[in-house]
Structure 1
């Protein structure tokens, strides 16, 4: 079996987790792709094989063409995309990948749009009784405190918290405003199978953020949040992992704020709690249902720095 992580960038922990499975006895070759050979994920281990692709943004069709060709050349069996910008084009071409034998772990086009387009996401959540902070797409009737975001933003790009006065700028059609909810912030991974059925979820309390990504967190179990995860899973019917963010106010009310249909920066906390979603993907892709992810321990985790290198 040949497995490819696309736009792997700095997500070296996913590569290390995959290598651990090889050491456990799983028989597969590991590939990663990105736009430059000078990418950390390509230098985690000599067993990792690198593939160069063009940038996705503004070049979607060519990106997909090059990726399809690489999958044919390297006989890729399983493809796991890791970047928001590639998800819409890969979702639209999923059947082309499946036609050459690639199991592409990406949701359908509607699900991707319902997650990444914050206008569609807001409307979708209202229709499915998923509570979100009240959102505005014009300045009319908006009073602080509120949060300014980009409608198609990724990470914390364009994020601004406005406690009084007005946002530094607002571009209709690009930006949106969301009611500010004060409370604890949480993240959760929700794993679905290839047909969009719920498999497992793992929740974490965020203790620190850095550049829009979870930097410190504590994992724990909650029957109440598992029920909410199952509702979200059933509503979105996403494929693979979904990384979501939500807030809980003092009254115990939960407000969901982000839905990312891919592995995110919070996954290491899930993985180190004993919940191996990569193992599930590989087992499932092999046609086996033997491994069911299971929460084994609560952890408090702290991200650090690790350098990967090559000889000049």
Structure 2
């Protein structure tokens, strides 16, 4: 008797839209398949509550995390793992052989590519290697104001600073060895785009959807619009093949409003928080992933039938858990 094709979304948190997208696409391919979520606190995760099933996992730094996850995947007949946060990517990539040996496919890029994307200095080198401009990085003590400061391994805009004059520079900025001192790209002069990229299992780019970031909340797009423009053309031309890239990656760019110059900012080797806009515009990355890895379906080249100028306005919604009893 054939088993269902269950999938797991890890560190699910509040990614309700992503869970629902996978539920919809999996139901088309396998009516028996379940979308399962895990989180360190699943009882407080909205995504876990809307998933078909959920379970609790140890923290990512727990030494038994990989073995625990493999065991739960075997128990629940999970075939595919979809990570959602940066800190779990390296862990899954390094243990890829362990998961594969147990019939589980983690949708994660190679450790080498993840290392490049999680160090913004190396990301700049990657962009430059493929002929994409990046913001100038200043040597310490040779600054040009205004300038932008951010840690090379940071995320969600934590410890990011805009300094407009020398008197705003603090000792803690200079003493932070992780801090990058960068040319400031003024939002009054630039539009900011996050591109959702889909790479097949052979690391070939199949689709790119730029989303113009209109408003941001906690480092995640709150208002955005799809744009078929020169940013998409640049990515298609420069990053058509990216060694080690698998599944959905998000890449951030700035484009000058007058000159049209495009500057690469960063890459995240995972689904971004604003991906639901790309999915609702018609770029079916969840369906492609399921088809490619569970049903051996080829993803067609150059998908461009996504809706241009689709505006997304996000808002908070409620997930209610009746008769809730806290377990910890």
After superposition, the Cα gap between the structure-2 partners of 1:10 and 1:233, relative to the gap in structure 1 and judged at 3 Å, is farther
For 2:87, the equivalent position in structure 1 comes to 85
The change in CA–CA distance for 1:237 and 1:222 in structure 2 (over 3 A counts) is: farther
Could you tell me which residue of structure 2 aligns to residue 34 of structure 1? 39
The answer on 1:217 being equivalent to 2:218 is no
Secondary structure in 1 aligned to 2:54?
A: strand
1:3 touches 1:30 (CA, 8 Å); kept in 2?
A: yes
Q: 2-side partners of 1:92 and 1:236: how far apart?
A: 16
Call closer, same or farther: CA 1:294–1:257 in 2, change over 3 Å: same
Structure-2 separation of matches of 1:114 and 1:271: 26
Q: Give the root-mean-square deviation of aligned CA atoms.
A: 1.9
Which structure would you say has the larger Rg?
2
**Which runs of 5 or more residues in structure 2 are unaligned?**
324-328
Q: 1:175 to 1:227 in 2, by over 3 A?
A: closer
Q: Is residue 50 of structure 2 the alignment partner of residue 49 of structure 1?
A: no
CA–CA distance in 1 between the matches of 2:263 and 2:86? 22
Task: Note the C-alpha offset of 1:115.
Answer: 0.5
Runs of 5+ unmatched residues, structure 1: none
Alignment of 1:104-115 (within 5 A): 104-115=106-117
Shift of the alpha carbon at 1:302? 0.6
Change (3 A) 1:227 1:103: same
Q: Helix, strand or coil: the match of 1:135?
A: coil
Which residue of structure 2 aligns with residue 268 of structure 1? 276
1:127-146 equivalences in 2 (<5 Å): 127-136=129-138, 139-146=140-147
Tell me what 1:174 maps to.
178
Question: 1:34 touches 1:52 (CA, 8 Å); kept in 2?
Answer: yes
Cα shift at 1:290: 6.4
Shift of residue 123, structure 1, vs aligned partner:
2.5
Cα pair distance change 1:288/1:25, threshold 3 Å = closer
Q: Which moved more, 1:249-258 or 1:290-299?
A: 290-299
Write the mapping of 1:166-245 to structure 2, written as runs, cut at 5 A: 166-168=168-170, 169-170=172-173, 171-182=175-186, 183-222=190-229, 225-245=232-252
**1:90-109 Cα shifts (integer Å, max 9, x gaps):** 11111111111112110111
Q: 2 CA distance for matches of 1:94 and 1:290?
A: 23
3-state SS of paired residue (1:301): strand
Q: In 2, Cα distance between the equivalents of 1:98 and 1:146?
A: 45
Q: C-alpha displacement at 1:132, in angstroms?
A: 0.8
How far did residue 173 of structure 1 move? Answer: 2.6
Higher relative contact order (CA 8 A, sep 6+): 2
Are 2:200 and 2:299, in contact at CA under 8 Å, matched by a contact in 1? no
CA contact (8 A) 1:148 1:176 kept: yes
TM-score (norm 2): 0.87
- SS of equivalent to 2:241: helix
**Deviation (angstroms), 1:62:** 2.5
Corresponding residue for 1:248?
Answer: 255
The Cα shift of 1:5 comes to 0.5
2:285 aligned residue: 277
